[in-house]
Amino acid sequence: MIDTKQIPSPYQNQTDSGSIIVIVATDAPLIPVQCRRLARRATVGLARVGGVGADSSGDLFLAFATGNHVPAGSKRLYDLAMLPHDFMTPLFSATAEATEEAILNALCGAEDMTGFRGNTAYALPQSELAGIMKKRFW
């Protein structure tokens, strides 16, 4: 764990609050209930990097699919395709993995930043993260 003894926090009091918005997009032919199921799996990716949510967090997980092409302004019935529900597991796994990777990419892409009232937020030390990830996965 990388704690505030290694990387100082810009905040006087550490809180477990914070929010995240995850948008999952796929070109699979999904219907709305399947998109809701897919969005819920983003929490798995968040948990893999240590996020568990907090009482005051406002986490949002949304998913949309572009696999059905609905003609604009159509006044007649059209057919929709739908992936069978029991074929969803690979999409669930991909959603968790993509969410985890997106969070790690955002953390690794951050740079030191000084903001309001001179508070400095320091970049995540990537060598420390690599060591933690190595212990966790290998």
55 counts as catalytic: no
93 counts as catalytic: no
- Separation CA 99–CA 81 (nearest Å): 26
59 counts as catalytic: yes
By CB atoms closer than 10 A (0-12, 13-18, 19+), residue 61 is buried
Which entry of 9, 17, 19, 93 is annotated as an active-site residue?
19
Query: Three-class SS of residue 93?
Result: helix
Encoded tokens for 32 = 């709305």
Name, in order, each residue with C-beta under 8 angstroms of 38's C-beta and a sequence gap of 6 or more.
24, 26, 30, 63, 88, 91, 92, 95
Catalytic residues: 19, 57, 59
